[in-house]
Homo-oligomer: A and B are copies of this chain.
Amino acid sequence: MQLTGNPRPLRADAIHNREAVLETAYQSFAAEGLSVPIDEIARRAGVGAGTVYRHFPTKNALFGAVIDHRLKQIVTAGRNLLDDGDPGHALSEFIRAMALHWGARDLGLAQTIAGDGIDIYTLAPEAEARFMGLLGELLAAAKQSGTARADLTVREVKAIIVACQAAQIHTPDVADRVTTLILAGLRPSASGQNDETTATSDTPV
């Protein structure tokens, strides 16, 4: 994991320790979610807790660094879908990849996008802005190509990603099918954009 923008040069062993902590935190959050304690990350990285706190004064600072790095990778991958493939299908490919590949293999990422126990706006505001900006570009390209409803919004797209990630409660084939069904609902309908309203039940139980 490459980190840039340190306020002052670090000695080689300090750099090594910082990288080891970040890599361990990244792997731990991906496998087990964001609840892994700092002390456990220090133990797995083979450094003392004091070393972790020297580089990352709070758990939120460590969260922020990991999330910032991870979302940069995601945004780069999403932009590649736009630039190298069919822009009209980049949005649906991105949502599928978030739900079935990246998010499925990275619990911390899925929790971050869902806002589950973490406030990304506070911890990594730049990363959040880049991510939402990418969603905006993907959505614009899909609308331009006629593959997304004209009235779809960026916040709805983000909620759809969270929905697709949550749908993975069963085997991968069910998750894949459900994601496909959900994506079908984002396309313009043959009989008009706004014909999809269904009666809402207000009956409380």
Q: Interface of A with B (CB < 8 Å)? A: 73-74, 76-77, 80-81, 89, 92-94, 96-97, 100-102, 105, 114-115, 149, 152-153, 155-156, 158-160, 162-170, 174-178, 180-186, 189-191, 196-205
Contacts and interface: CB of A to CB of B under 8 A. Distances in A.
Nearest to A202: B101
A160 B183 CA distance: 12
A167 to B, nearest CB: 4
A97 B204 CA distance: 8
B93 A198 contact: yes
User: How many copies of this chain are found per oligomer?
Assistant: 2
Q: Is the interface of A mostly helix, strand, loop or mixed?
A: helix
A163 B100 CA distance: 13
Contacts of A156: 174, 177-178, 181
A70 B176 CA distance: 30
A158 B170 CA distance: 9
| Across the A-B interface, the 5 shortest Cβ-Cβ residue pairs | A166-B166, A185-B185, A184-B185, A163-B163, A163-B167
Contacts of A186: 181, 185
A69 to B, nearest CB: 11
B101 A201 contact: yes
Nearest to A92: B198
